[in-house]
Structure 1
Amino acid sequence: MAERGGPETAPAAYVVRDRVPLAASRGGAALRTLRRRDGVRVLEETDGWSRVAWNEVEGWLPSDALSNVWIRISKTDRTAYVYQGGHLWRELPIDVSNTPDGDKTRRAGRLEKEEHRIPEGTFFVTRRNEDSNYYLAFVLSYPTPVHALRGLEDGLISQAQYESIVSAHREFREPPQNTRLGGLIEIHGSGSGRRRAWTRGCVALRNVHMDALWEIVEVGTPVVIEP
């Protein structure tokens, strides 16, 4: 049994299922019902259960309902850094677009540079696609409210579209993919592993690396994309 840690040492995690009971004891009565992506602090782990703190309420959750995996992508390094809590688990080479510099702002024509930009910011995985044209894919939550606000101010989207995007993020749903801001930004397979530039705004990994990520990345996994 793990010893209870203080708030400065206990690892952060998040819920990866919908409507998970936070129980008073292992398998006991529910104190609260947690949603996918609700953040918790793990205090203790034993026999497939985790004692956690959520908004000052302590209780028990099944350990397999939690994850602490997150991904940091550096377009400059052309590397995906995969973390488990504060521990760096893997560094994976990525292929990027042929216009990797700058944040994505809008949908564009196939031959325009803007169409190939990789968005920057903090996202989460909205969908796992086993039928991708590029082996396997994780669809990301682009456009974010930050992109939506900029698009609204630039006249690219309507107030209703802006509110729809913000609402989707608040509820941890996939935002609209068919606005003038673009969409279907993915981390997908069939990458070269040689840090090449060829995608249309996505990040590509070798298929063997996608296999490894497929085992640990859930809907809701945070992804940070940096310049």
Structure 2
Amino acid sequence: MMISRRSMMVGTALGLAGCSAAASQYTGPEVTRIQVLKGQRTLQLFHDRTVLKSYRFNLGFNPIGHKTQEGDGRTPEGAYRIDRRNPNSRYYLSLGISYPDRNDVAAARARGVEPGGDIFIHGTPARWMNTPDWTWGCIAVTNEDMDEIYTMVQNETKIFIYA
């Protein structure tokens, strides 16, 4: 049986693609929590009490204080969890943060405002690369860092965001 040159090229390309995907899988210790220090612009991935990796980031255009309503440009503060993944994000890759929680919704309703939502850890488009605090309340890392974070962090990972 003769194999065409095209079949060999397609097979080789598929094999290499498979190797590439396997190489991007994380095999280290489980990330048990994420700690975000807004004032220091440091995001840390932990396994129990051990820091596995640390990253720099940008925040929303109004970064000081807890997010209290839609459009305020703030990043929430408190204990949340990673609740979804978006491999097709317009901001490269993204991990959803479970804001707003029950307390956030109640506090916003008491003030007669919407709490907002769609808060993510995500990558940074080239046009925003050198712009500080440009998001609407998300945590923006470089695309290279997001590649790593996306493979290391699983859904339901706890995330603690501090001032």
TM-score tier after normalising by the smaller chain length: 0.7 to 0.9
Deviation at 1:219? 0.9
1:184 equivalent in alignment to 2:147: no
Q: Which runs of 5+ in 1 are unaligned?
A: 1-63, 109-113, 157-179
Q: CA contact under 8 A between 1:96 and 1:201: conserved in structure 2? A: yes
Q: What amino acid does structure 2 have at the position aligned with 1:90?
A: K
Identity, in percent, stands at 30
**CA displacement 1:111-159 (0-9 Å, x = unmatched):** xxx1x11111111111110010110000110101221221233234xxx
Instruction: Pick the aligned partner of 1:155 from 94, 107, 112.
Output: 112
Q: Show the counterpart of 2:67.
A: 104
Q: CA contact under 8 A between 1:136 and 1:210: conserved in structure 2? A: yes
**CA displacement 1:6-60 (0-9 Å, x = unmatched):** xxxxxxxxxxxxxxxxxxxxxxxxxxxxxxxxxxxxxxxxxxxxxxxxxxxxxxx
Q: Which runs of 5+ in 2 are unaligned?
A: 1-26
Q: CA contact under 8 A between 1:69 and 1:216: conserved in structure 2? A: no
Q: Show the counterpart of 2:83.
A: 126
CA–CA distance in structure 2, aligned partners of residues 145 and 77 of structure 1: 28
TM-score (norm 2): 0.74
More helix by share: 2
Q: CA contact under 8 A between 2:31 and 2:152: conserved in structure 1? A: no
CA–CA distance in structure 2, aligned partners of residues 117 and 73 of structure 1: 14
CA–CA distance in structure 1, aligned partners of residues 97 and 104 of structure 2: 13
CA–CA distance in structure 2, aligned partners of residues 196 and 70 of structure 1: 25
Instruction: Pick the aligned partner of 1:196 from 98, 111, 132.
Output: 132
Determine helix, strand or coil for the equivalent of 2:118: coil
Q: What amino acid does structure 1 have at the position aligned with 2:154?
A: E
TM-score (norm 1): 0.54
More strand by share: 1
Deviation at 1:195? 8.4
Q: Show the counterpart of 2:38.
A: 75
Higher relative contact order (CA 8 A, sep 6+): 2
Q: What amino acid does structure 2 have at the position aligned with 1:139?
A: G
1:226 equivalent in alignment to 2:162: yes
CA–CA distance in structure 2, aligned partners of residues 139 and 209 of structure 1: 16
Deviation at 1:67? 4.1
Coordinate RMSD, CA, aligned: 2.2
Q: What amino acid does structure 2 have at the position aligned with 1:95?
A: N
Q: Show the counterpart of 1:210.
A: 146
CA–CA distance in structure 2, aligned partners of residues 107 and 200 of structure 1: 9
